[in-house]
Amino acid sequence: MATSSRNIAMACFISIVGFSSGCSNYDPVAVNECPKVVSHSAALLGKLAPSQTQMMEECKAADDKERGCAMAATKSSELIKC
């Protein structure tokens, strides 16, 4: 069950940084802010969050608007909408 939860969390995080279509209205966040983005995302995802290392890799691969969308989220369900 833990593996399944981690897979769901990973899918959520990938959705955060993988789809910019819902993120066009947010202020861009530079790649040097990835530690803040990862910390914020991990706090929202709680126990479902992937590893910090994996989230950092995804953050660095994302663009500024995608990171901005993640930072604007206030709950995990908003991360999925990004």
Distance CA 17, CA 81 (A): 10
Provide the phi-psi class of 23: left if phi over 0, else alpha when psi is between -120 and 50, else beta. Answer: alpha
Domain total for the chain?
Answer: 1
pTM: 0.71
Q: Is the pLDDT of residue 8 over 90?
A: no
Burial (Cβ within 10 Å: 0-12, 13-18, ≥19) of residue 32: exposed
pLDDT value of position 2: 52
What tens digit of pLDDT does each residue of 39-81 get? Answer: 999 999 999 999 999 999 999 999 999 999 999 999 998 887 7
- Report helix, strand and coil shares of the chain as percent, to nearest 5: 75, 0, 25
Residue-range definition of the domain harbouring residue 31: 2-81
What tens digit of pLDDT does each residue of 17-46 get? Answer: 544 444 457 899 999 999 999 999 999 999
